Amino acid sequence: MSAAALMLFAWGLEIVLGWPDWLYRCIRHPVVWLGALIAMLERALNRMEWSHQVRYIAGVISTLLCVIIATGAGFWGATLLPATLWGVAVEALIASSLIASHSLHAHVAGVARPLVMGDVEGARAAVSLIVGRDPNQLDEAGVARASLESLAENASDGVIAPLFWGCLLGLPGLAGYKAINTLDSMIGHKNKRYTAFGGFAARLDDAANLIPARLTGLLIAAASFNPSVFTVMMRDARHHRSPNAGWPEASMAGGLGVRLSGPRRYGSHVSHEPWLNGAASDPQAVDIVTGLTLYRRAMVLAAILLVIIALELKA
């Protein structure tokens, strides 16, 4: 079975099953294991009394170690599992745990439901599970913006990028990418504690998402069936603070006819970010529902592309 066919199989399992609660209770989740390893290394090697240079080197070593371990585990699994139907099924199940289309949709839908009902407090509680900003500072438009930005960015980080690296390098590539992305989410922050230790991890994540983020933006724009969305994406994506997240977010903003990004609060700090599709109005609760529809259409296009790749590799 080609890597693309394996990713298609794994993605199908993830959409249908997610990561079952009983399995999580038995063995937790690969990202939980990765997180525990990263946290252990960070506690041991990110010493605030050390110089910036020493902490940066410690971060490089920790990052490479995590990526090597994850990639090696993926290679070990892909090599040792028998080339039988059951062996392929187990490999696909492992790979499915590193794709997040099901959980992403569920989490964003969990924000939309209370917000549509006018329950802003319930929506704030739901959005706090998927964004880092202070939910208590968000009004209805702020909650909608935060959830749509998370939907767009994680469509890339949680779905398209894992599939991209899985198609390119199989289960080892998928596992290695997930390690990079988890490292960035845990230590890739620009603050006093992590700027030095997590700097290399953040740049590595930027490199790993360079192509997938742009591909995600193109898929969302194509799924909108509106040529002007491509113009919004090409115009505004480069203004985002991230070299990658702006592409799917600008595409989502253009596809829905709303503005995203802009100023946001993280604790006591206000980050003054430029708007994406700034001439449009703020999103409302109904725009989250429409955004989920746009996300599903984009994922259908991604699945069609994956089928084409799998068939071409088989030919």
pLDDT of residue 135: 83
* Alpha-carbon gap, residue 103 to 22, rounded angstroms: 16
* Alpha-carbon gap, residue 3 to 216, rounded angstroms: 20
Tokens matching residue 46:
């990110």
Tokens matching residue 48:
């605030």
pLDDT of residue 266: 60
* 3-state percent breakdown (helix, strand, coil) of the chain, nearest 5: 75, 5, 25
Long-range contacts of 244-247 (CB under 8 A, 24+ apart): 244/156, 244/206, 244/209, 244/210, 244/212, 244/213, 244/214, 245/149, 245/152, 245/153, 245/156, 245/213, 246/276, 247/156, 247/213, 247/214, 247/216, 247/217
CB 144 within 8 A of CB 120: no
For 278-290, letters b (16+ CB in 10 Å) and e give eebeebbbebbbb
* Alpha-carbon gap, residue 13 to 119, rounded angstroms: 33
CB 4 within 8 A of CB 310: yes
pTM summary value: 0.94
DSSP reduced 3-state for 276: strand
DSSP reduced 3-state for 217: helix
The one-digit pLDDT tens for each residue of the chain (315 residues) are 799 999 999 999 999 988 878 777 877 889 999 999 999 999 999 999 999 999 999 999 999 999 999 999 999 989 988 888 899 999 999 999 999 999 999 999 999 999 999 999 999 999 999 987 778 888 999 999 999 999 999 999 999 999 999 999 999 999 999 999 999 999 999 899 999 999 999 999 999 999 999 999 999 999 999 999 999 999 999 999 899 999 999 999 999 999 999 877 666 666 778 999 999 999 999 999 999 999 999 999 999 999 999 998 876
For 60-74, letters b (16+ CB in 10 Å) and e give eebbeebbebbbebb
For residue 146, count other CB atoms closer than 10 A to its CB: 24
Q: Of how many residues is the chain composed?
A: 315
* Alpha-carbon gap, residue 189 to 187, rounded angstroms: 6
pLDDT of residue 315: 61
pLDDT of residue 23: 77
